[in-house]
Structure 1
């Protein structure tokens, strides 16, 4: 049988091959950590699954509002055991994000492990992620897992435990979903200078990213002085040095990174001042120049659900 289309003769086999080729060429590129980082853009840390109030008052329309403001991902902080009720709530959050085109990242508080990185707490943390990973399976391909929110406390002095937990958890999650995007943070509350202490599985650059951050609550006084006053050359240089520490690590390892939470310092109860605007502009511009996505800390400081 021969078909004539627009004066051109097509045999069915040739026509089908052309259609098949079109499908092949239209197939999207596989998602890698580098492409994922590009999609993250600017986001917000949220308490929709960490506090009782956050859980109770969550409204999917908040996700719509965030998207309308230009936010493209949320870091969903989670505390407590992975109960059936909590898993169902997380599914609700993830589905709301997917509906409005916002990338969800689940970040586990892991408070018990940070306070006491014992063998039993290591096992507890790994099991937490095992339950969550199996619950989501290979669904929601843009959903990211941030393994430990701000490694600190006794973990600052126990890198062996931190790296061991990361290695075991990454392998466990990727046995369930080989393409799940996973974030790991260094000690000292995710200090960029400590990224080099991370020991990540070989050949994991396509699906493992680093999370680091500076100024989670704005440029607070440290060592008797503020790291940002009027934006002097020295103040800007000090901030660039911290960002560049992450950039150098990225170039050396081939892993992408993400700033999981920084803040200009103002809150919903205060009117921002000129120095805060200047600091926010500088931080946003420097991270953009470095091609590093970031989340702002936090929704409770900027969004009034009432």
Structure 2
């Protein structure tokens, strides 16, 4: 006699718990992103071939809470099925997936209709995922390149049309857009944002995507001088000021210390990684590390031992505490904050699982 009442009570309790969950907004989404990593699981033949869902488990165990899945070429049925496999693996292990379209396969054809190609690509992907996988994000263009990179009006037009069509399919899909000039933070203000888009639209920008590169005989980072640190802080502050002005949030889609990070890291690399990670975390800007193959051996299914200290520094750096001032409190690293929020995010993802299976502008 009491069993139906107990069951009803449990259902009501569960219903109230679900109802109490705040609606997902871009600001909450950014908080859950934490620290992630760029992956080629859908872009290169090797990345596609070597992918194993247990890789996602390894990434989550390491403290990574999102992946930026770079993908190129046509949205064929086989590629869409593979993307579904990647998204489901992320949902299973509590990692947020972001599909990032590398819209550059037309680069050898100057007559190609870049705008139409980008829009049609996302129409296919948006229809395929529909309203499933609520934490799946769409990064519309990995880095605005070629014709779009030199025509801000064209880039804004692509974004406007693509956002409109995606949200006609799924009104709640989180979308990232990047400015021109390889997503430099200095060009965030050039983007035309849809009215009232703060709750679903995030900006993606880059800083040192492949580390400090030599430019005109000089490096933007040598030993971490005051001038070098200030230059980095100034670029991050540009993004922060843009956020304050527009009410939108942003995400660094990729940064690194250089190709040599497969090797045992040097003291300058570790110093640079520590400073970059600490500054982004103090600014509460989530970021992805570029890129997974430098730290993870997909063929072996194991982390590369040599760059392990560097990766750990980029995920959970040991940051200097602010100077002791009355009422001044140290900022917690974003990766730790994300760690607290991820289990809830993971449960949200699992409950909503689908039924079907650069150039450095420094």
**1:16-70 superposed Cα distances (whole Å, 9 cap, x missing partner):** 8998587336521000000000000000000000001110111111111100100
**1:171-207 superposed Cα distances (whole Å, 9 cap, x missing partner):** 1001111110000000111000000000011011100
Q: 1:283 to 1:116 in 2, by over 3 A?
A: farther
Tell me the distance in 2 between the aligned counterparts of 1:96 and 1:191.
Answer: 32
State the shift of 1:123 in Å.
Answer: 1.0
Check the 8 A contact 2:100/2:138 in 1, yes or no.
Answer: yes
Aligned pairs (5 A) from 1:67-216: 67-112=60-105, 120-216=113-209
Q: TM-score, normalised by structure 1?
A: 0.91
State the shift of 1:121 in Å.
Answer: 2.4
Tell me the distance in 2 between the aligned counterparts of 1:118 and 1:209.
Answer: 30
State the shift of 1:221 in Å.
Answer: 1.0
Tell me the distance in 2 between the aligned counterparts of 1:110 and 1:147.
Answer: 9
Q: Which residue of 1 aligns with 2:319?
A: none
User: Is the partner of 2:216 in helix, strand or coil?
Assistant: coil
**Greater RCO between the two (CA within 8 Å, min separation 6)?**
2
Decide which of 39, 49, 61 is 1:56's aligned counterpart: 49
Check the 8 A contact 1:117/1:155 in 2, yes or no.
Answer: no
Q: 1:22 to 1:45 in 2, by over 3 A?
A: closer
Tell me the distance in 1 between the aligned counterparts of 2:257 and 2:280.
Answer: 14
Q: 1:221 to 1:61 in 2, by over 3 A?
A: same
Tell me the distance in 1 between the aligned counterparts of 2:106 and 2:243.
Answer: 27
Q: 1:26 to 1:187 in 2, by over 3 A?
A: same
Q: 1:117 to 1:257 in 2, by over 3 A?
A: farther
Alignment: residue pair count: 295
Tell me the distance in 1 between the aligned counterparts of 2:130 and 2:258.
Answer: 38
4+ residue segments displaced more than 6 Å: 16-19, 114-119
Check the 8 A contact 1:76/1:105 in 2, yes or no.
Answer: yes
Q: Compare CA radii of gyration and give the structure with the larger one.
A: 1
Q: Which residue of 2 aligns with 1:24?
A: 16
- The reply to whether residue 258 of structure 1 matches residue 251 of structure 2 is yes
Tell me the distance in 1 between the aligned counterparts of 2:32 and 2:247.
Answer: 18
Check the 8 A contact 2:35/2:288 in 1, yes or no.
Answer: yes
**1:121-143 superposed Cα distances (whole Å, 9 cap, x missing partner):** 21111010000000000000000
Q: Which residue of 2 aligns with 1:239?
A: 232
Q: Which residue of 2 aligns with 1:7?
A: none
Q: TM-score, normalised by structure 2?
A: 0.77
Q: Which residue of 2 aligns with 1:6?
A: none
CA RMSD of aligned residues (A): 2.2
Q: Which residue of 1 aligns with 2:324?
A: none
Q: 1:87 to 1:231 in 2, by over 3 A?
A: same
